[in-house]
């Protein structure tokens, strides 16, 4: 990539997008494209929608957040549908501060950053174009130039509602520079930029004793008092506070609830009336989305203070919990690793998964539902099938704890422990056991974990270890089966032939001798027992299989190895059981013979080629599984 050419092209594109003209010419633009005059909330909603919306499992998935936010689809849908959508329609919701509340490292800051970066990009598109009075430090909406008594007629003709009054500075400029001729006022296209302080602001509280309200609302420029003669002359005022600069876009209010009360008072009229007080002027109109974020304990403390009641009623709280799906948690770790200097390290398959299992278990609440434990709940949440439960149960579980996931281990802790494992091992490869060991050791250093939580967390690490043991054994045993799919298919065909003969009370014919044989009960039971089918339940299970085969045949589809999940699991387990001794002998032999060595090399090659291991992690896996099978 020629970086200088790319920079040049970007600059040329920005110059091409620039526009400047009179207010009369601007009216022609909005006559053709009324969306140009949309409110800040509407712009944010349309930006999110423009990235794409997908329906999945009766849930809306917003692609705008898809590459950065994982496992929070419900929280994102609630955020968009309960705040941005009604706010875009000018409902009362837009007169509220949006407060994202959730645990540390849960994605709140990421959501806000995505909105800011998204607005910067969106303002460069035709759909998200923003125009302002030229030379205005607050990038004021040109439609404020329309006098109040004409706005109803304007709405009838253009279909656009105008809210807000012309700012003191532009009121003076209209008289002095344009002699009151509204049509001659110059308008320009602006591009949102946090760095250039255009349409995007960020306010972070500091020491209440030293922080000045001017950081929010601007201040008097004393060097110009002599020139303009009065502090109430708008030309003697610097409209450079965060509320001024964020006009038309959004402002992030960091740690809002830690702020001194005088800073929050300005938000009362801004949210409810769309204006704020600055200097010795009339109220200044502003159209901006205010987003704040906090954790649960700070929020509880805030609402318990009676002094905050007025502001509390002007806040909409959106809970942003931790992700509760193991597969999505893995994606979070993968993203964080790619963004770090650890991207070159080989992380063995399932290493991140066991870390994700541990993390998610720490965040789940114990259900009162009969037969439901945390492991089953975790699997159901991740979309897996759990015997005796289905996805209807998932909805019931979620209703049991509407804001589940507000506590537990945060993703940054896990990444820190993975980093620690890499540095300690001094090998460019780590496996699941390295990660679990590091997670366990890190609990002693985690200052905020109580002794009770620590005991629970140690138990969750043990559960994650058992899950990994099962995964590791299956992985190795699967690698030992040469032409695994063919072996499985052959075993399944044999089983189905016997089931069909058993259900139809027929006999089978021996392919070699031609003699008639009874269905092989021993073979069928050896497969069915792998998934806990009892002697009493075998008949109904076999009939269910036959009904499934008939249903497939009616639809012109072939019943194969993947057509029945429980049967597939039984076939796999039977194959693995038959191979167990071979695997045990081969992996545990300290001095393998030539045939064992050949088998080991084949297995290692298969683990590398088909399962994502490297030579170090594949050998470690084999040694570990050998030790498991010999226990």
pLDDT tens digit sequence for 119-149? 999 999 999 999 999 999 999 999 999 999 9
**Contact 361/460 with Cβ under 8 angstroms?**
yes
Residues written for the chain: 631
Mean pLDDT value across the chain: 87
CA within 13 Å, CB half, 397: 25
Q: Look at residue 117 in the predicted model and tell me its pLDDT.
A: 95
Residue 483 has pLDDT above 60, yes or no: no
pLDDT, residue 116, reads 96
Confidence of residue 564 (pLDDT cuts 50, 70, 90): confident
The pLDDT, as a whole number, for residue 190 is 95
Give the pair of three-digit tokens for residue 193. Answer: 């930029």
How far apart (Å, rounded) are the C-alpha atoms in residues 295 and 280? 37
Tell me: pLDDT of 93 over 80: yes
pLDDT score of 80: 95
Bridge partners, residue 517, by sequence: 508
Tokens representing residue 27 in the block:
């009216």
Q: What is the dihedral of CA 191, 196, 200, 201, to 10 degrees?
A: -170
Helices (H), 281-386: 296-304, 309-312, 326-338, 351-363, 374-381
126 DSSP assignment: S
Whether the per-residue pLDDT at 596 is higher than 90: the answer is no
Is the four-CA dihedral 5, 198, 44, 75 of positive or negative sign? positive
Structure tokens at 123: 């303002």
Q: Tell me if 147 sits within 8 A of 323, measured CB to CB.
A: no
Give the residue among 396, 348, 389 at the shortest CA–CA distance from 371.
389
pLDDT band at 1 (very low <50, low <70, confident <90, very high): low
Q: Which two tokens stand for residue 80?
A: 């968009």
Helix (H, G, I), strand (E, B) or coil at 161: coil
Residue partners of 153: CB distance under 8 A and separation at least 6: none
Separation CA 426–CA 354 (nearest Å): 21
Q: How far is CA 69 from CA 76, 85, 279, 331, 333, in A?
A: 9, 20, 41, 9, 12
Residue 558: band (very low, low, confident or very high) from pLDDT cuts 50, 70, 90: confident
Dihedral, 367, 368, 369, 371 alpha carbons, nearest 10: 90
- Residue 605: pLDDT above 80? yes
Angle between helix axes 565-588 and 451-480 (nearest 10 degrees) is 90
**Percentage of the chain lying above the pLDDT 70 cut:** 97
**Separation CA 340–CA 215 (nearest Å):** 34
- Written as six digits, the tokens of 164 are 């807000």
pTM of the predicted model, to two decimals?
0.83
HSE value, Cβ hemisphere, 13 Å, CA-based, for 32: 6
DSSP class of residue 149 equals: G
> Residue 186's beta-bridge partner residues?
22
**Beta partners for residue 254, in sequence order:** 293
Angstrom CA distances, 387 to 247, 565, 577, stand at 55, 11, 22
Q: How many CB atoms lie within 10 A of CB 104?
A: 13
pLDDT computed for residue 256 by the predictor: 80
Buried-exposed string 76-96: b where 16+ CB fall within 10 A, e elsewhere: beebbeebbbbbbeeeebbbb
CB 370 within 8 A of CB 393: no
Task: Say how far apart CA 596 and CA 572 lie, in whole Å.
Answer: 23
DSSP string, 401-431: STTTTSSS--HHHHHHHHHHHHHHHTSSEE-
Contact in structure between 145 and 166 (CB atoms under 8 Å): yes
Taking each helix axis as running N to C, give the angle between helix 565-588 and helix 484-503, from 0 to 180 degrees, rounded to the nearest 10. 130
Q: Which residues pair with 198 in a beta bridge?
A: 193
Q: List, in order, residues 6 or more apart from 127 with CB less than 8 Å away.
A: 35, 46, 50
CA distances from 22 to 134, 142, 554 (A): 10, 10, 71
pLDDT category at 482 given cuts 50, 70, 90 is: low
d(CA 202, CA 204): 7
Question: Cβ distance 497 to 520 under 8 Å?
Answer: no
Distance of CA 231 to the CA centre of its chain: 49
pLDDT, position 149: 93
Whether 214 and 55 have beta carbons less than 8 Å apart is answered as: no
DSSP for 610-626 reads HH---HHHHHHHHHHHH
pLDDT of residue 162: 93
Q: What residues form DSSP beta bridges with 190?
A: 130
Residues 6+ apart with CB under 8 A from 417: 355, 435, 438, 439, 441, 442
- Give the CA angle between residues 11, 14, 16 to the nearest 5°: 110
- How confident is the model over 503-543, as pLDDT tens digits? 988 888 877 777 888 889 999 999 999 888 999 989 999 99
């Amino acid at each position: 990539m020629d970086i200088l050419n790319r920079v040049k092209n970007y600059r040329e594109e920005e110059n091409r997008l620039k526009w400047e003209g009179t207010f009369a010419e601007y009216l022609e633009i909005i006559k053709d494209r009324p969306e140009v005059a949309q409110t800040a909330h509407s712009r944010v909603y349309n930006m999110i929608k423009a990235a794409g919306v997908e329906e999945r499992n009766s849930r809306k998935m917003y692609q705008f957040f898809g590459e950065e936010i994982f496992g929070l689809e419900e929280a994102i849908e609630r955020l968009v549908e309960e705040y941005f959508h009604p706010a875009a329609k000018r409902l009362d919701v837009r007169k509220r501060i949006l407060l994202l509340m959730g645990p540390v490292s849960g994605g709140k800051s990421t959501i806000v950053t995505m909105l800011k970066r998204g607005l910067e990009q969106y303002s460069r598109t035709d759909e998200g174009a923003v125009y302002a009075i030229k030379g205005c430090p607050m990038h004021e909406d040109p439609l404020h130039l329309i006098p109040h008594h004409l706005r109803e007629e304007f709405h009838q003709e253009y279909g656009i509602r105008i809210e807000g009054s012309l700012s003191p500075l532009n009121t003076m400029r209209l008289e002095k520079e344009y002699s009151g001729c509204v049509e001659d006022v110059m308008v320009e296209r602006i591009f949102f930029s946090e760095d250039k302080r255009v349409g995007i602001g960020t306010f972070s509280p500091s020491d209440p004793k030293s922080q000045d309200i001017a950081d929010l609302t601007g201040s008097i420029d004393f060097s110009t008092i002599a020139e303009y003669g009065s502090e109430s002359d708008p030309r003697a005022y610097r409209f450079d506070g965060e509320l001024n600069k964020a006009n038309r876009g959004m402002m992030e209010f960091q740690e809002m609830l830690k702020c001194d009360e005088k800073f929050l008072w300005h938000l009362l009229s801004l949210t409810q009336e769309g204006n704020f007080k600055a200097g010795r002027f009339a109220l200044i109109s502003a159209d901006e989305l205010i987003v704040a974020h906090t954790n649960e304990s700070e929020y509880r403390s805030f609402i318990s203070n009676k002094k905050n009641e007025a502001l509390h009623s002007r806040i909409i709280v959106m809970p942003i919990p931790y992700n509760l799906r193991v597969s999505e948690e893995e994606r979070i770790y993968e993203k964080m690793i790619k963004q770090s200097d650890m991207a070159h390290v080989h992380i063995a398959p399932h290493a991140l998964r066991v870390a994700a299992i541990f993390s998610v278990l720490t965040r789940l609440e114990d259900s009162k539902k009969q037969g439901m434990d945390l492991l089953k709940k975790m699997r159901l949440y991740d979309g897996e099938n759990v015997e005796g439960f289905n996805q209807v149960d998932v909805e019931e579980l979620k209703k049991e704890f509407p804001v589940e996931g507000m506590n537990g281990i945060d993703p940054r802790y896990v990444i820190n422990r993975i980093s620690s494992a890499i540095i300690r091992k001094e090998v460019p490869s780590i496996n699941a056991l390295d990660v679990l060991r590091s997670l366990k050791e890190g609990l002693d250093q985690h200052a905020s974990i109580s002794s009770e939580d620590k005991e629970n967390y140690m138990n969750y690490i043990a559960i994650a270890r058992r899950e990994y043991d099962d995964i590791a054994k299956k992985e190795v045993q699967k690698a030992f089966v040469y032409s695994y799919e063919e072996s499985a298919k052959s075993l399944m065909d044999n089983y189905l032939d016997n089931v069909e003969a058993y259900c139809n009370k027929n006999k089978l014919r021996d392919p070699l001798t031609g003699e008639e044989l009874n269905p092989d009960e021993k073979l069928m039971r050896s497969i069915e027992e792998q998934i806990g089918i009892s002697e009493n339940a075998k008949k109904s299970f076999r009939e269910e299989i036959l009904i499934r085969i008939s249903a497939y045949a009616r639809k012109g589809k072939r019943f194969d190895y993947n057509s029945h999940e429980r049967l597939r699991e039984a076939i796999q387990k039977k194959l693995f059981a038959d191979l167990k001794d071979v695997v045990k002998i081969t992996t545990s032999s300290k001095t393998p013979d030539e045939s064992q060595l050949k088998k080991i090399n084949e297995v290692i090659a298969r683990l590398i080629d088909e399962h994502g291991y490297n030579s170090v992690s594949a050998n470690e896996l084999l040694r570990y599984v050998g030790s498991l099978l010999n226990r």
